Amino acid sequence: MSNVDQEVDEENRRRYGRQHVLLKARLDTGEYEFECVAYDLSLSGARIKLNLPLQTQCEVWLIVKDSPHIPAKVIRVNEGFIGLEFSLPPEQISKMLGNIGSQLPKA
């Protein structure tokens, strides 16, 4: 399967639309906190730029701008990007992200 086909398949599996963003963020692994940049954000997860060899399925917390710590699970690590799936319901994520969350696609 080509990379283009994989991207289309991933888009079809998404529960919530992605918003392309460039937002300052931090990733908290429980032991360390790392500066990063959020490139994509949705009510169900995020894609961040951080060249860190994390294991998939490990639990972390994402802080976007001045948001509270958002619990998430690492679902993908690929070429300097990390895919996260949020552990809380979308309504709660929207509230935690404040103004940013209210602007994210609901479907």
pTM metric for this prediction: 0.83
- What is the tens place of the pLDDT at every residue in 68-100? 999 999 999 999 999 999 999 999 999 999 999
Mean residue pLDDT across the chain: 87
Fold of 3-102: Thrombin, subunit H (2.40.10)
When pLDDT is averaged across residues 52-72 and rounded to a whole number, the result is: 95
What is the reported pLDDT for 37?
A: 97
Q: Please check the confidence at residue 8 and state whether its pLDDT lies above 50.
A: no
Q: Can you spell out the DSSP letters for the chain? A: --HHHHHHHHHHH-SS--EEEEEEEEEE-SS-EEEEEEEEE-SSEEEEE----PPTT-EEEEEETTPPPEEEEEEEEETTEEEEEESS-HHHHHHHTTHHHHTS---
pLDDT of res. 13 = 53
Structural domain spans, the chain: 3-102
